[in-house]
Each structure stands twice: as C-alpha cells, then as structure tokens.
Amino acid sequence: MYRNFFRICFLTFFLSSGCKSVQHLSSVNTQNIRADGTIPADSKIESMIQPYRIEMAAEMDEVLGQLEVDLVKRKPNSNMGNWFCDILYDEANKMFYEEIDFAIQNYGGLRLSTVAKGPLTRGEIFQLMPFDNTLVVLQVDGQTMQTLLDAMAYSGGWPVSTGLSFTIMNNKATDIKIQGQAFDINKSYRVAVPDYVANGGDQASFLKKLPQEESGVFIRDIIIAHLEDLREAGRPLSIDPTQRISK
C-alpha cells in the first residue's frame, strides 16, 4: 500500500515538474550613456550627499604642515623619497620593540610625482599614498638582503631612509652601507617595508618566505599621525636631501 502511494507521489511530482514553463531572455535593448558631465545631477541625491561632501572636503583640506621646498619623486634618489622613508623609519622605531636598521618604500607606491611647497594637506597625503598598505618589519638575512638591494638597483632605485646607502653599478647594488657599517652578508637586518612588498609585490617574491612583524597600521595614517605630532609640538617638517643611492 505504502509502496503504491510513494509511486503515485513520485509520478505526480515528475509530471508536474516537467510541465513547468521555463523563462528565457530572448532579447536585450541597451543604451550607452557617457559619464561626461552632460547628464544633469539628480537634485534629491545631491541634497542628500552635500553635507557629507562638505565634511569630507573640510577634512581633506586640513593643513598638516608647511613644506619649505617642493617634494619631487625621482630615481635613484629624491627628497620626497628621503622624507617619506625617514618618517617610516622614525615611526617604526617607536612602534616595534627591536631597533630598525632602515625603511624602504617601493617607487610605484608613491602616486604623486611632486608636492608643491607651501601648505601640506591631509588630502595630499591621501593622493600620495592612496593604498591601504600597512607597515611591517622583516628580519632579512644577508643573502636575501643582497637580492633585495640588487632588485632595487636594477629598477633604478627605490626611496630609502637614513641608515642605508649604496651605489648602483651594472644594475647591481655595490658599496652597501647599513647604519654606517659595511654590509655583512653573514648578518641579518631589520627592515620596515610596506606589506605589499613583504608579500611579494614589485618583483619581490623572494621576501614572502620571511616572517613578518605586522604593525596593523596603514602607512598613510602613520605619515598623517607623524605630521600631526609635529604640528602640535610646533616643530617644522624636516627634509634630509642627502644622496643615499648613487650611480
């Protein structure tokens, strides 16, 4: 009895499911609209976002300090790179227990070629460093350090902090000095880098094998906090133009 009942139920389900209609998309009418400013703004949307736009503009226009000279990004060495990496170096030595030997920033990570002298705003720091990269510290063995510096030399040079200098010769890093001492391939060094680089970005896949000490803080926020501290203390921005990488 139960067997016949289940057979009837199965047959009913099979027949009913087979009779269901299936909807198909037969045609699509599309229209391309170019976002070139010719489309009138929606007044309701504009009125809704205007308070947020005003608040954001006020925040981005906040002056964090005064630049006495233009910051310019160049290879192999630049005052922008020196300034940026010196901040990372100083702040890393505050954030991490063990002392840092130097800090680096990949060249492409700085997204402005120049920052004009005069008021330096929060918005300009966001433009300079728009990525959510955090600062990490790597304990780099001597052989990997040579590989890293050679990669930097081959690309023409990256921004580096005080504590590191070298000469580019035949696309290799030579005459390397770390904290004023000749580089020792048998030693290891502590280096502050963006997590993007530590995770293999910018052709640095050889760094992925190294353990990371993570700050958990965006590099952009580290720069901003540093500038705010200087402003509150009434201290000027310090830019060291010393040539650290030469050809």
Q: What is the pLDDT of residues 149-168, one digit of tens each?
A: 999 999 999 999 999 999 99
The answer to whether residue 93 sits within a structural domain is: yes
pLDDT band at 6 (very low <50, low <70, confident <90, very high): very low
Mean pLDDT computed over 182-209: 97
The pLDDT value given to residue 119: 96
pLDDT band at 33 (very low <50, low <70, confident <90, very high): low
Give me the phi and psi of 54, to 5 degrees please. Answer: -65, -45
As for how many domains the chain has, the answer is: 1
Mean pLDDT computed over 217-229: 97
The pLDDT value given to residue 123: 96
Mean pLDDT computed over 3-13: 46
Q: What does 70-133 look like in DSSP terms, one character per residue?
A: -EE--SS--HHHHHHHHHHHHHHHHHSSSPP-EEB--GGG---SEE-SEEEEHHHHHHHS-S-P
The pLDDT value given to residue 10: 47
Written as one letter, the residue type at 25 is L
The answer to whether residue 121 sits within a structural domain is: yes
The answer to whether residue 66 sits within a structural domain is: yes
CA atoms of 74 and 243, how far apart (whole Å)? 12
pLDDT band at 59 (very low <50, low <70, confident <90, very high): confident
> Within 136-188, where are the H helices?
142-154
The answer to whether residue 196 sits within a structural domain is: yes
Taking 60 as the threshold, does the pLDDT of residue 108 lie above it? yes
The better pLDDT of the pair 186, 57 is held by: 186
The pLDDT value given to residue 13: 47
The answer to whether residue 246 sits within a structural domain is: no
The answer to whether residue 247 sits within a structural domain is: no
Written as one letter, the residue type at 190 is R
Helix (H) or strand (E) holding 196, with range, is: helix 195-198
Structure tokens at 95: 């954030």
Report the mean per-residue pLDDT for the chain: 87
Task: Say which CATH number the domain at 212 has.
Answer: 3.90.780.10
Domain hosting 177: range is: 56-239
Mean pLDDT computed over 32-39: 60
Question: Are the C-beta atoms of residues 60 and 90 closer than 8 Å to each other?
Answer: no
Distance of CA 76 to the CA centre of its chain: 20
The answer to whether residue 221 sits within a structural domain is: yes
The better pLDDT of the pair 138, 2 is held by: 138
pLDDT tens figures, 189-198: 999 999 999 9
Contacts of residue 194, defined as CB under 8 A and 6 or more positions apart, other chains included, come to 105, 106, 109, 133, 134, 135, 136, 201, 219
